[in-house]
Structure 1
Amino acid sequence: MAKNKGKEINQLSADELAKNLRDLKQEALNLRLQRATGQLENPARITQVRRDTARILTAQNAKKGA
């Protein structure tokens, strides 16, 4: 995992954060469906998507408070 990922996310605009969050939620849904049907090739990706989602939500909340 890149140590600068949080810094990169914090530099994004509110619209870009919203778009990335929407994309990650869609990917999470697809991964859950793949897991349920037994087609999931990389189970670690679920954790990566969840953590990236949390990073984006944290950045959004920080921007709202600032």
Structure 2
Amino acid sequence: MIMKAAELRQKSNTELGQELLSLNKALFGLRMQLATQQLSNNSQLNKVRRDIARVKTILTEKGAQQ
């Protein structure tokens, strides 16, 4: 599930924080699957990492505006 930056900009800071938490949990789960050799699609790791970077970037932008 790739999120667009425009979708993220419409969310509040608390919603972005929750999104970041869920993405970190998903990344942890994917890393565990990779370690136990259960992960079939390695590109999911990069997608989740990029989504985390997007959320962090939007949070930083919103913090700079205030």
Q: State if a TM-score over 0.5 links the two structures.
A: yes
Tell me which residue corresponds to 2:13: 14
Gaps of 5+ in 1: none
The Cα of 1:42 is off from its aligned counterpart by: 1.6
- Taking only the aligned residue pairs, the percentage that are identical comes to 38
Tell me which residue corresponds to 1:51: 50
1:19-62, Cα deviation, whole Å (9 max, x unpaired): 00000000000000000000002211100000000000000000
Gaps of 5+ in 2: none
RMSD after superposition: 1.7
Q: Distance in 1 between matches of 2:21 and 2:40?
A: 22
